[in-house]
Structure 1
Amino acid sequence: MRTGEPLPPVEDVLAALATGLWRWDNRAGLVTFDVEAARLIGMPSPDGRPVSLSESGARARFHPVDWNEIDGVVQLAVAEGTLAEARLRVMDERGHVIRTVRSRSKPVMTGESPDSYELIGTLQEVTEPPPGAAARAPVTGDWRRSREAFLLDAGRALAEAGSTEEVLRVAAGLSMPGFSPEGLAVFGVTGDRLTVIGHYGQPADSEHPFTDMDLSTDYPAAEVCRTGRAVYLSSPAEYQKRYPAAWPLAARFRRQSWAFLPLIIAGRTIGAWMAGFAYQVSFTPDERSVLTTVARMLAQALSRAGVAESERELTDGLQKSMLPNLGPEIPGIAIAARYVPTGGGLQVGGDWYDIIPLPGGAARTEAGGGRVALVIGDVQGHDVRAAGLMGQLRIALRAYASEGHRPDAVLSRASRFLNGISDTVNGGDPDDLRFATCLYVEADPATGVLEIARAGHPDPAIRMADGTVMMRPTAGGLPLGIDPDADYPTTRLVLEPGETLLLCTDGLIETGGHDLDTGWLRVRRTLETGPADSLEELADSLVQAVHGPSSHHTTGPLVDRREDDIALLLLRRTLQSSKPSTGRRTAMTIAQAEPERIAAARQQMRELLHDWADDDQVDSAVLLISEMVTNVLVHTDGDALLVAEVAKDAEGARRLRVEVADASDNLPHKRRPGELASSGRGLVLMELLAERWGVDPQGEGKCIWFELYEKSLHEPSGAGDEEPVVSRETPTPPFP
């Protein structure tokens, strides 16, 4: 070619170099080959014109394994804006390989959709084997199988990582097939600054130059975060040429190749991942595909971990704001509390507890501290709305209690409040009204008197000084928020020195497939066998009995596997009175309108005598109190007050004394009932079964009592024709 002559056509030059041109219109699904490219794929053009094939027709000219890899190579080139390069085996009509060609193409976007593009590239026949071909199997290749297995393992491990620290640990342990990096680093973006989230393979203090780096810095990771496109540096010379300002920072690590890939979530670049290699890597399309896939999985794992950590942080904040501190120590009583949220969602539900100093509670006496209210409750649901209603209800209860209202009035006002806000929050939808159960206890540390109002909540339980545990049935009303005019009767109990009161939500009882009955048996066993000296250890043992060993802490230990929220309060009276405790004691009222509480009275007796030596005597005691209480409800117009006490006499034998008091002045008389009579056998049974029994007149009404000795020292004193003993002694007070 002489100087000044025009250049020959490009097609002629490429044909002379045995290189063909082709175009793939992705939208039209049409592939066009020039004359040389058509010859290379085994379809020579007889008239010297380009050959156009459908996508399926073009696919038929290449080996199916090679064609299947084309899509991944092209998608990677479209995402990164780089060249798509691949080696393809050309097949004839009989399925024989006639040659191998190398394709190099450049994606050109033709629309906003990721699938709107066309490829313009070259085809050139190659005779040398591809790098590493000797180590591959004829069709699939060992490297290809290793890559697939690696990606499956990496995806599984990253999906199981639950925190950013775990994700980084998994990323550091990835062993890529054939080209494992020596060092890794994960960068994040905060505003317009680049930060280091974590790294592996570098000294502990090596991240300082890269932390808080401006995104406009001429550093590969900063460029990746700005553009969202990967950067591959195959040699130190290439790194130094492209990023001369950042090269001194990277040179000290003595790496030979680097890959910086974007971490993209929903089209937004949240950071960059750096993989550094101790040897030179050419970053073939296969290798880039592996790195890109790992980067996508890493971005998803980091995003999930970030959301989980944000939820945990929000949970901790909500718990700290919604749950009270136990405050300063109150003389005369000890308190322990636990809140264990459910494992789903934000881990915040409707369970709560509160400890409220009552008016005058700041005053202290020589006997102990001022009055305090203990509240525990559960708003229906396990969602954010339940947590919000719980917070509002807790504030309302605290306000009503601080105004000095009695327990029944506090719950009545709280029910009207919840009914009003629940109707407002749900937009008047009658199918989405929320209610709450609640137990409100007003305690006087000086006297041990507990005044209890209950709104559909589980009854409290008491562990006595000797380890005996009893459920304390209390009068109650509807859950809060159902009926704004509901009444909540008050029950009075006395907590003796050394006794412990348990208040809990149903999550402690019903978790693990238990119902209220079987769950209570489990809680009762734990209370009986749990630590007697430390209230905190007893609270831990109750939670661990339901869920196993704990692993986190709020106001108490949290656990990993949870079905329902748990809130519990333990109150122990530590004040020593001048009069020593005489033993176990229980009291309850059976109202005329509540005959079903007779069954609760029988259960109370069995719990009180749980370690009694003679089962027949236990059955006798249960039968006698059933008769005594039933007589009061049938033959009088008032309520029955049952008091039962187990104590030791002077000779060391345990004695059971049961008293049933009523307001009627009519004394019972023993009768001789006929065979078909429906009544008149109560005193006969008492005379036959009790060691001693009698009737004590009181100022208003009377008290019928009987005694049983665990080891009988006396013969029954009753005789068939004798009148009952009418004691003139001052009776044991039926209520403390």
Structure 2
Amino acid sequence: MADRGASAQSVPDDWPAHSDPILALNRMGTFDWDLDAGLFHMDAQAYEVFDILPEEFDGRPDSLAIRVPRPEGSRLDTVVSRAIKDGSENYGAYFRIRRRDGTPRWTHTQGYIRRDETGRPRRIIGIVRDATQELEESEARSLRAAQDAAFRQQTNVVQIITAALSHARSVQDVIDVLKDTHGVRNIGAASLVMGLVEAGRIRLVAEGPEGSFVPGTRITRIDEPYPMGEVVRTLSPRFIESPEEFADGYPILWPHITDLNIISAAYLPLIAQARPIGAMGLLYNDRCGFSTEERAVLVALGSSIAQSLQRAMLYEQEKDLAQGLQQAMLPRTIPSVRGADVAVRYRAGSAAGSLGRDIGGDWYDLIPLPGGRVGAVIGDVQGHDTHAAAVMGQLRIVLRAYAAEGHTPATVMARASVFLHELDTDRFATCLYAEADLTTGVVQVVRAGHIDPLIRHQDGGCRRVTVHGGLPLGLSAEFGRLEYPVTAIELEPAQTLLLCTDGLVEQPGADLDDGMDLLTTLIASGPDDVRELADRLIEMAEARGGDDDVALLLLRRRGPDSVQTGGRLQQHVAPGDPEALTLARHMIRAAVCAWGARARADEIELVADELITNALMHTEGSAIVTLRVLSGSERRLRVEIEDSSSALPRRREAGENGVSGRGLLLVDRLTDVWGVEARGGGKCVWCEFLMPNAPDSPDRTGPGWHS
């Protein structure tokens, strides 16, 4: 303690102040400190508090240094000086002294500062008392309060972890919860290890922090002398409360973790449905021992983690099964299509709370059709379960079969609806079927309750195509409304047709039109390559998440250097209408000459006339005559005669003088290739003729021209 005003020689007449007997009775000593004279007077009780004899003290404050350690004296001087300088009337402080036997003692002092009329400090009169017991009781209360607070914090952390684990849907989710900022570090653990039981072994699935992995413990047998194996065998937790206990109990493991400064650990069996599925270890570097309450908290934490792990493992197994079933129902491969680039994608949804039901009825399909045509299908069966996937698989196969039979798009959709209705299921399905003629670019689209398609232009612009539609499949048959209007659109070279399910568009709480506008913008800014664009759209769906599946099909018509049309002609010829037949003959010759096939005009006209006549004679109804030019590696002129009869043409032997029976012989002899294909309830007889590679420009002003 500093010696203040030691040069002064006089003291006040009333110095020292008389001590109060009551203070002495309460074991409080008094002192009177004359700041001018630098004298420090203590009564008998004060000597006892400082544990100093009167003959050992010369009345100077700095002589108390034999009992007051230097750091404590400096701290006490700071308190007194501050009170004097800032004009305070009193001060108080706790400080430690060193008793005669060397033991420490807490002491408390309070002083009253007397000043003269100018405010200058003259004397300090105060008390000193033994505060050891007081502070020990206070420290005990503080320690108990801290322990209670720590226990409450641990309990809160366990509650937070348990709440977070309720949303975990994979083993990795469980691990992430334990490692995040609200995880096991908040209950004081310095390191974490966790393993799962697999075929009599424990496979380590998590350890932390980085660098804490113990070599040789990635996979261990349950019967090996490791703590996780022990708790799995015994189904009881193992609390290790000292380094010595750790070293004695697990001599193989201990040398590998000494660098982590581990002094205690808690190993917990992870038990679900009365069987161990794994074990977890929490390692500590700042505590020895576990209270009863702490052990109970950790056991509860282990139980919560075990339940979450079992749920996550079951979910992953169910998800793998569901996704395998879904993939089996989708086409294994997508066929290459001449004249088009195609990309398909599928993303399984993640329906919250539907364990093992991340499977739906979304599907896509691509169906090669005769005559350079292709059918593109996108659909969605109601529901997210294996039943929806099974219905989807049947519906996909049936729709594919109807399309391959040659039915019109509207008929394909109507028959698929009847099939679904007769399947005796409570599910309905939305669907969109687009039949594209890649030589002409004409696309016929029918829609059954599905969202509209989109077209991306060569310059990057994108637009939504409004398609008039009917009821979803199954419902239209149930209500007897099987009409599906056909919308014809034209797909120019380098344009892309996009079909998707609503999982790519819909968002909870958002309007469908807003979703379509957002998708349109995303497609417009995406890459030109259909595969890269499909990847971009699926990445967007993944980032957004969502509960619904996503199926996606993109079809891009290739540019002018691939298969394309050089002209197209179509004419209806009604029975009993000789003028229509004559007009068709003239029109065929004019078109063939205009398209640069003048050298074969007689052959083409003769074959077309024969096929038209056969259609009118042997079937009921009109004939539809279609001519088109196909160009690519070789230019060909294709003639198609379509009628309403499913009976196939057959060759017949003509008599010596007979006229009938020679038609198909002419067709076979004059054409380069010919064939028959089903078209809905009828058929189409077609033939092709090779043409020169440098045609004249077609005359599109001739009679009966239809672009």
| TM-score normalised by structure 2 residue count | 0.52
Structure-1 residue corresponding to 2:265: 258
The residue aligned with 1:152 is 156
Q: 1:137 to 1:312 in 2, by over 3 A?
A: farther
Offset at residue 576 of structure 1 (A): 0.7
Deviation at 1:500, TM superposition (A): 2.2
* 2:344 matches 1:348: no
- CA distance 1:381–1:287, change in 2 (3 Å): closer
Q: Which amino acid aligns with 1:413?
A: R
Distance (whole Å) between structure 1 residues aligned to residue 410 and residue 529 of structure 2:
32
1:33-63 deviation per Cα after TM superposition (whole angstroms, max 9, x unaligned): xxxxxxxxxxxxxxxxxxxxxxxxxxxxxxx
Give the structure 2 partner of residue 451 of structure 1.
444
TM-superposed deviation, 1:476: 4.1
The 5-angstrom pairing of residues 396-475 of structure 1 reads 396-421=398-423, 423=424, 425=425, 433-466=426-459, 469=462, 471-474=464-467
| 3-state secondary structure, aligned to 2:526 | coil
Contact 1:462–1:501 (CA<8 Å) still a contact in 2?
yes
Map 1:599-610 onto structure 2 (within 5 A): none
Shift of 1:265: 2.8
1:650 alignment partner in structure 2: none
Which amino acid in the other structure matches residue 568 of structure 1? L
Q: How far apart are the structure 2 equivalents of 1:578 and 1:278?
A: 72
Task: Name the CA shift for 1:559/1:322 in 2 (closer, same or farther; >3 Å).
Answer: farther
- Describe the shift of the 1:412–1:200 C-alpha distance in structure 2 as closer, same or farther (beyond 3 A): same
Alpha-carbon distance in 2 for matches of 1:521, 1:734: 38
What is the CA distance between 1:467 and its match in structure 2? Answer: 5.4
1:194 equivalent to 2:202? Answer yes
- Please give the alpha-carbon distance, in whole angstroms, between the structure 1 residues aligned to 2:435 and 2:203: 54
1:375 equivalent in structure 2:
377
Q: Which residue of 2 aligns with 1:248?
A: 252
Shift in CA distance, 733/276, structure 1 to aligned 2, threshold 3 Å: farther
- Alpha-carbon deviation of 1:534? 3.0
| Aligned-partner Cα distance in 1 for 2:281–2:439 | 68
Of 137-146 and 175-184, deviating more is 175-184
Q: Tell me, in whole angstroms, the C-alpha distance in 1 between the residues paired with 2:253 and 2:199.
A: 23
| 2:552 is equivalent to residue 531 of structure 1 | no
Give the number of the structure whose alpha-carbon radius of gyration is greater.
Answer: 2
What amino acid is the match of 1:497?
A: P
Give the Cα–Cα distance (whole angstroms) in 1 for the partners of residues 504 and 703 of structure 2: 37
Q: Does the aligned pair in 2 maintain the 1:196–1:207 contact within 8 Å? A: no
C-alpha contact (below 8 Å) 2:323/2:359 kept by paired residues: no
Is 2:701 aligned against 1:730? yes
- SS of corresponding position for 1:387: helix
Work out whether 1:573 is the aligned partner of 2:573: no
Structure-2 change in CA distance of 1:297 and 1:735 (3 Å): farther
The residue aligned with 1:269 is 276
Is this contact kept in 1: 2:157–2:187, CA < 8 A?
no
Alignment partner, residue 705 of structure 1? none
Distance 1:143 1:133, change over 3 A: farther
Query: In structure 2, the residue corresponding to 1:137 is in which secondary structure?
Result: helix
1:564, distance to aligned residue in structure 2 (A) = 4.0
Equivalent of 2:327, from 307, 320, 324?
Answer: 320
Letter in structure 1 aligned against 2:282: A
Aligned residue identity for 2:201: R
| Maintained 8 Å contact 2:505/2:512 | yes
Aligned to 2:493: 497
Aligned AA (2:492): E
Displacement of 1:469 after TM fit?
A: 4.9
**Residue 493 and residue 320 in structure 1: after superposition, are their counterparts in 2 closer, same or farther (change >3 A)?**
same
Determine helix, strand or coil for the equivalent of 2:366. strand
Per the alignment, residue 298 of structure 1 pairs with 305
Aligned-partner residue type, residue 389 of structure 1? V
Q: CA deviation at 1:209?
A: 4.0
CA distance in 1, matches of 2:411, 2:702: 34
Secondary structure of the residue aligned to 1:575 is coil
* Greater mean deviation of Cα atoms: 169-178 or 134-143: 169-178
Partner secondary structure for residue 558 of structure 1:
helix
Q: Given the alignment, which residue of 537, 558, 561 partners 2:542? A: 558
8 Å contact 2:157–2:183 — kept in the other structure?
no
**How many positions carry a matched residue from both structures?**
427
Kindly indicate whether the alpha-carbon contact (under 8 Å) linking 1:183 and 1:276 is maintained by their aligned counterparts in 2: yes
CA–CA distance in 2 between the matches of 1:379 and 1:539?
A: 22
Report the secondary structure of 1:290's partner residue.
helix
| Residue aligned with 1:480, SS | coil
Write the deviation string for residues 353-396 of structure 1: whole angstroms up to 9, x where unpaired.
Answer: 122334x58xxxxxxxx433210112123444323322332233
Question: What is the deviation of 1:512?
Answer: 5.1
Cα distance in structure 2, aligned partners of 1:558 and 1:473: 27
Aligned counterparts of 2:537 and 2:542: Cα–Cα separation in 1: 12
Counterpart-to-counterpart distance in 2, 1:460 and 1:252: 62
Instruction: Give me the whole-angstrom Cα distance separating, in 1, the residues matched to 2:395 and 2:530.
Output: 28
Query: Which residue identity lines up with residue 530 of structure 2 in the other structure?
Result: L
| Helix, strand or coil at the partner of 1:195 | strand
1:137-168 superposed Cα distances (whole Å, 9 cap, x missing partner): 36962122122123323432464364433533
**How far did 1:487 drift?**
4.7
| Corresponding residue number in structure 2 for 1:54 | none
* Structure 1: distance between partners of 2:235 and 2:336: 58
1:137 maps to which of 118, 137, 141: 141
Sequence identity, in percent?
Answer: 38
Determine helix, strand or coil for the equivalent of 2:141: coil
Given that 2:413 and 2:446 are in contact with CA atoms closer than 8 Å, whether structure 1 keeps it comes out as yes
Measured after TM superposition, the shift of residue 297 of structure 1 is: 3.3
Change (3 A) 1:136 1:334: farther
- What is the match of residue 688 of structure 2? none
Q: Is the CA contact 1:411–1:488 (under 8 Å) kept in the aligned structure 2?
A: yes
Q: Which amino acid aligns with 2:277?
A: I
Amino acid at match of 1:168: I
Q: Give the partner amino acid of 2:252.
A: P
Query: Is the CA contact (8 Å cut-off) linking 2:439 and 2:564 kept in structure 1?
Result: no
What SS does structure 2 have at the residue aligned with 1:730?
A: coil
Q: Is the 8 A contact 1:273 1:295 kept in 2?
A: yes
Q: Which amino acid aligns with 1:575?
A: G
Cα distance change, pair 352–521 in 1 and its aligned pair in 2 (3 A)? same
**Structure 2, unpaired ranges of 5+:** 1-132, 567-698
Contact 1:331 1:575 in 2 (8 A): no
**How far apart are residue 463 of structure 1 and its match?**
3.7
CA distance in 1, matches of 2:392, 2:137: 67
